[in-house]
A and B are shown apart, each in its own frame.
Chain A
Amino acid sequence: MPPETVPPELPTQLSAWKDEEAALLESLEQIEQEHGFIPRNIAEEVSRVLEVKLERLRKLQTKVESNVRKEVDALVAKWKDEEGSLILILHEIENRHGYVPREIAMEVSHALGVKLARIYEVLTFYHYFKLKPPGRHNMSLCMGTACYLKGAPAMLAEAKTLLKVEEGCTTADREWHLDVVRCIGCCGMSPAMVVDGKTYGRLNASDVSRIVNKSTQPKAAS
């Protein structure tokens, strides 16, 4: 996943683009191989450096035999016979990448013949789908009623000060993403939260820093 804050490194042969489209294509392929798809920030950077319109670049991009297209084609083939397959496809993408990148959504739109707006209509409606990449560590604080009553708001305040980030946001260094979720179904152990896929229960505000430290520490070689 490309860190969006760092200016992207562009391949060297890009300079030859004006003469040959092939060189640009090759460069794009290189970027594509590195990241799995061509991230928007890199595409924007390329178009800025080369003074190409983003649209033209996108058109060129479609010529690249990309992983994204292979991935999306495989997914579309898998769910081809299902009615109402869009959400299923988006689920798989979300699970694979941790969010739904715009580039992939665009590919899905091509492959299914569904307008991009329709896809975003679905994406923005459901809380499960995210449009931004998650952090390296992810904290989901449960704000179900049971957790709310038993002190989740205090835990949220603690997490906000500790990670220096608002709910639903990622820290500048992309280390932590803080989310508030509806009921994770562990009401018997409220208040609860999920950090990097592991559920912690029966917490209080002081436990937050302990869990954050534990998750940030590099795993001991055991």
Chain B
Amino acid sequence: MNTLTLVDLEKYAKTMAGSGPDWVRVSMDTGGIAAGADTVCTIFEKGAGTLGFPFEVRRVGSLGYSFADPLVEIAREGMPRVIYGRVDDEVAGHILQDHLVGRRLLDDHILAWRNRALAFDGPITYILVKDTSAEKGDKSQFFQFSLAEELKRCNLQDKVQVVRAMDMGVYDEGVAVQFLPSRVTYTNVLAPDVARIVKTSVQGNQVIDDLLYKKPDRQVRIVMRNCGKFDPENLQDSLRYGVYQGLARVLSSMKPEDVIAELKTSGLRGRGGAGFPTWLKWQITRAVERTPKFIICNGDEGDPGAYMDRSVLEGDPHSVLEGLIIAAYAIGATRGYFYIRAEYPLAVSRVEKAIADAHQAGLLGGNILGSGFSFDAKVRLGAGAFVCGEETALIASIEGKRGSPSPRPPYPSERGLFGQPTAINNVETLAAVPAILVRGGPWYAQYGVEKSHGTKVFAVTGKVRFPQLVEVPLGVTLREIVFDLCGGVFGDKDIKAVQTGGPSGGMIPEHLLDTKISYESLQELGSIMGSGGMIVMDQDDSMVEVSRFYLRFCVDESCGKCAPCRIGGYQMLQILNRVARGRGEKGDIERLRAISKAMQKASLCGLGQTAPNPVLSALRYFEPEFKAYLEGGVSYARKMNANRPAEPVAVEPANA
């Protein structure tokens, strides 16, 4: 590709991507490929030639619905766009035959749209139906049959097809029905309503108000705005979807101070966990006068159970690169590094390709877009050390040493990589930056709550019915995320707790799920926001076992440099081990608390300071469970702890 100019960028953003109206997008992220997206994609590519009309197969990033991998989105002229989930080779063949040629949707694989409409905008051609209640006895088939019969009675069977969906995006709302193409959704539909639906809605095109599902979608996609839309390995496609527009605006009309001011208005805070204001970090680094300066994108997503950084890097690498270039411009850096886990080979190769393409197009290198600003970026691989997510350890690792943290101050903004001023930002933070600069700080600040603005991606996993990535404005409650967006707990059990923040975070018990999520509120509950892993636990999970699991992780990952973390962690693990075996001693709980306090106060880096968090929060909300282990041994504790609710305790600051 030739060197781009500002005019080219604008021209690209105005042209539509893709050629024809008929295409398929196959989600080719690590999750999708693991579930077989590769072969599905080949089937579509082979089949495309036999269809008799131009049909384009696109490899895209993930939409985030991990429970339904591999995902496939299909557009066919004259038909509504549809997302299919759990597409195996056989289903792919059926899609080619029945959907694309026969114009009939497939049962049991469709994911209904989340952006639901409140009114019809044309005649109904397809009806999705699904029983969303968690209890046994699925009524979907019955309702599909009765709707089809009713349509037949009205002589509409050729115009409207009734399809069983795989997932409706609403949960525990009885039988739900979505009309395509308008995306109007009804819930709690009962058998007597069927005749009414066909008469009023299908024939009359009128909305039935008492059935209409009016709650808007809670998700707001800013960081994941481009994931699943285009081929992440294709720079031109990225340009057509408006990537690099933020950079164009910055380089053509903004001074570095303006960029920082815009971010200050937006209220964006570091999405890696600690929540340090991004603008402040940039300003401090900018204020240091020594050059050269460096910028690092922290993609060392070590928190088990979180995979949003991987998804963004795989689905939209150019936006992260754009954010990195803007950050470099703001702080005056000349070189940047992506530090990515070696366990994410696909993310690494896509970012490497993005950098090479951007280089060729003149978006990296000397005199970017004719602005006189020069910047270069490189990829560095992590090598499987959790502590390398910590700033100073990460810097040591890029320098080619073992990733031991060093005491702060001096902060990296003053003395970072190779002793030079360095700013380190998380993948998610950088991905949000271009959107803010295109649409303005006030637009971003409208989302969220006081002090915590904007959106955050959460990876909801564990014992949840529909594990997936969700991006929500801060201020949403945990209960909304777990129940409204992800369908609640797997297998008809009761929820016991939600764990946020990974090995540095804590457990949040059921009775506190209505807390609005923000950096401060989670900290008050004794947890942290962390990178956004959210793990749902049900009544079967023993809190002693879970806190032991997390602690073992931290002990394994401790670099051993400072004594509180190395020795304290090991001692705590010994105590927890004997408690879990039913050999606990009197005073063990107090001992755990005392060691935790010492670790929090005296450890060198974040790993040691936060390692006791899972244990402390488990003790705080589930102390009776630990006591049951101490007093009655393992089998007694298991019996007692089944269905024991968490003790309601007064909320007090965690570090008090």
Is A145 a contact of B34 with CB atoms below 8 Å?
A: no
- With contact pairs A83-B399, A145-B304 given, residues A185 and B468 touching in the complex (Cβ less than 8 Å): no
Does A126 lie within 8 Å of B461, measured CB to CB? Answer: no
A87-B383, A87-B397, A186-B30 are contacts. A126–B403 as well, Cβ < 8 Å?
Answer: yes
Which residues of chain A are within 8 angstroms of B553 by Cβ–Cβ distance? 182
Note all chain A residues with C-beta closer than 8 A to B559.
125
Q: Which of A91, A146, A184 contacts B383 (CB 8 A)?
A: A91
Chain A residues lying within 8 Å of B66, measured Cβ to Cβ, are 186-189
Interfacial residues of chain A within 155-208, with CB under 8 A of chain B in the complex: 181-190, 192, 198-201
Interface residue? B267 (CB, 8 A): no
Q: Which residue of the partner chain, among B307, B418, B463, contacts A185 with CB atoms under 8 Å?
A: B307
Which of B34, B381, B400, B459 is close to A122, meaning CB atoms less than 8 Å apart? B400
Q: Does A1 contact B (CB under 8 A)?
A: no
Q: In whole angstroms, how far apart are the Cα atoms of A83 and B537 in the complex?
A: 45
Q: Which of A91, A149, A189 contacts B541 (CB 8 A)?
A: A149
Is B549 part of the binding interface, using a Cβ–Cβ cutoff of 8 Å? yes
Q: How far, in angstroms, from A143 to B384 measured CA to CA in the complex?
A: 14
- The reply to whether the CB of B499 lies closer than 8 angstroms to some CB of chain A is yes
Interface residues of B in 387-446 (CB under 8 A from A): 397-403, 418
Q: Is the CB of A86 within 8 A of B463?
A: no
CA distance A88 to B341 in the complex (A): 13
Query: Which interface residue of A91, A127, A145, A199 has the most chain B CB atoms within 10 A?
Result: A145
With a cutoff of 8 Å between Cβ atoms, the chain B residues found around residue A84 in the complex are 398-401
Contact partners of B382 in chain A: CB under 8 A: 128
Which A residues touch B403, using CB under 8 A?
125-126
The answer to whether A121 and B402 have CB atoms under 8 Å apart is yes
Classify chain A: how many residues form its interface, as a range: 35 or more
CB distance from B532 to the nearest CB of A (A): 12
Given A189-B35, A201-B35, are A87 and B304 also a contact pair (CB < 8 Å)?
no
| B262 contacts partner chain A, Cβ-Cβ < 8 Å | no
Q: Which of B543-577 contact A (CB under 8 A)?
A: 546, 549-550, 553, 559
Query: Closest CB-CB distance, A32 to chain B, in whole Å?
Result: 28
* CA distance in complex: A21, B398 (Å): 44
Interface size on B, residues (CB 8 A): 51
- Taking the closest CB of chain A, its distance from the CB of B561, in whole angstroms, is 11
Tell me if A88 and B304 are in contact (CB < 8 A): no
Report yes or no: A146 in contact with B69, Cβ–Cβ below 8 A: no
In the complex, are the beta carbons of B343 and A146 less than 8 A apart?
no
Chain A 116-128 near chain B by CB (<8 Å), digits 1 or 0:
0000011001111
Q: Point out the residue from B304, B305, B385 that lies within 8 Å of A127, measured CB to CB.
A: B385
Contacts of A88 in B (CB 8 A): 380-381, 400
A146 near B380 with CB under 8 A, answer no
B33 nearest CB neighbor, chain A only = A199
Return the CB mask of A84-116 against B: 1 if under 8 Å, else 0: 111110110000000000000000000000000
Shortest CB–CB separation between residue A161 and chain B, in angstroms?
A: 21
> Which single residue of chain A is at the shortest CB-CB distance from B66?
A188
Q: Is the C-beta of B344 less than 8 angstroms from some C-beta in chain A?
A: yes
Query: How many angstroms between the C-alpha atoms of A144 and B301 in the bound complex?
Result: 12
Q: Are B31 and A185 in contact (CB under 8 A)?
A: yes
Residues of B within 8 A of A198 (CB): 34
What chain A residues lie within 8 Å of B33 (beta carbons)?
Answer: 199
In angstroms, Cα B399 to Cα A148, docked, is 34
Cβ of A137 under 8 Å from chain B: no
Name the one of B305, B381, B533 contacting A87, with C-beta atoms under 8 angstroms. Answer: B381
Complex contacts, A189 vs chain B, CB 8 Å: 31, 34-35, 66, 69
In contact, B402 and A122 (Cβ under 8 angstroms): yes
| CB 8 Å contact bits of B9-42 with A (1 = contact, 0 = none) | 0000000000000000000001101110000000
Interface on A for B, CB 8 Å cutoff? 83-88, 90-91, 121-122, 125-129, 143-146, 148-150, 181-190, 192, 198-201
Q: Which 8 A-B pairs have the closest CB atoms?
A: A188-B66, A84-B400, A144-B304, A199-B34, A126-B383, A127-B384, A183-B304, A146-B461
Sample (13) of A-B pairs whose CB atoms are under 8 Å apart:
A84-B400, A87-B381, A122-B402, A126-B383, A128-B384, A143-B304, A145-B499, A146-B535, A149-B462, A183-B303, A188-B69, A201-B34, A201-B69
Instruction: List 4 other contacts, CB 8 Å, given A84-B399, A128-B343, A186-B307.
Output: A84-B401, A88-B380, A146-B462, A182-B343
